[in-house]
Structure 1
Amino acid sequence: MFLEYIDHKCTDEELKEIVCKHGLLQYNIDATEGLLLKPGVNVNLVCRDKDGNVIGGIMCETYLECLDINVLWVAEAYRGKGIGYRLMNEAERLGKEAGCIYSITSTFSFQAPNFYKRQGYELYSVLDCFPNNICSYQYKKKL
């Protein structure tokens, strides 16, 4: 007989068990016949000023032959100077070079939806269920 209960405490090892070892990740790898791991590289870029200070960056992972842009940030003083554009172009170039055929990302309405449109991204979904009329926009682009 199984005793089932929900524990509000989860250790790092238990998180690894759920996500990686035998859980969701392995299920997804099996279900996609390994395609989930392709190309399986991270694209993480940083932009620095002449003094070496971080003024921007982009963090992406790849799976299912897709570049997923998780984070794109440029320091406020440097916005509008083409840094985001250069970071995006380089990340897309590296993703394509690794074998990605699409790039995807999401952004909130208070962030940068128009930036992605200007970079050639196509809006494919909007979630408008957040408070204060905040929306989440999902974008894609063929590389």
Structure 2
Amino acid sequence: MCAEICFSQAESGCDASVITSGINEEAKALGVASSSEPFSFFVKDDGGAVIAGCNGYFVHGSAYTDQLWVAKEYRGNGLGRIVMNKVHKEGMERGCCIATTSTMSFRNVVGFYEKLGYVVDFIRDGYANGARCIFLLKKLA
């Protein structure tokens, strides 16, 4: 039985890796050859501060980007494209056939993803203040 439920807002940690390992072990036991592995890519300035980056998972043949961010003063310089191209390249090297991501409608970045070859896969309504979650998909060559 459970002694307590812990809440964490940490981006990473050994407790989260237990969940990923558990899912991978169950998939392996079921004969699923692929797994789920977290990733992060960062761009740092000359002083070592993170100015852009993304995180996500290589999960069962998909390079899933959960979060992508570029500092305001560096937007429009191609850093987002460079980071996403790294995700796609690494995903292909790991045997991924597709890349997936999602964004909220208020962020207004669907055009950015479309320029990278993504298409809108589906849209989910029901978020706060009328926002919509837009799911995107790209086939990797």
Q: What's the TM-score bracket when you normalise by the shorter of the two chains?
A: 0.7 to 0.9
Per the alignment, in what secondary structure is the counterpart of residue 106 of structure 2?
coil
Q: Which residue of 2 aligns with 1:77?
A: 73
Q: For this pair of structures, how many residues does the alignment match?
A: 131
Give the superposition deviation at 1:52: 1.9
Q: Which residue of 2 aligns with 1:4?
A: none
Q: Summarize deviations over 1:26-80 as a string: whole Å, max 9, x none.
A: 555545x22341xx44331110112222101111211211111011111111111
Single out whichever of 40-49 and 106-115 deviates more from structure 2: 40-49
- Which residue identity does 1:123 align to in structure 2? V
CA contact 2:56–2:64 (8 Å) conserved in 1: yes
* CA RMSD across the alignment: 2.8
Q: Which residue of 2 aligns with 1:116?
A: 113
- Which residue identity does 1:10 align to in structure 2? I
Instruction: Please state if 1:100 is matched with 2:112.
Output: no
TM-score (norm 2): 0.77
Distance 2:38 2:24 in 1: 16
Single out whichever of 66-75 and 106-115 deviates more from structure 2: 106-115
Per the alignment, in what secondary structure is the counterpart of residue 54 of structure 2?
strand
List alignment gaps of at least 5 residues for structure 1.
1-6
Instruction: Please state if 1:90 is matched with 2:86.
Output: yes
TM-score (norm 1): 0.76
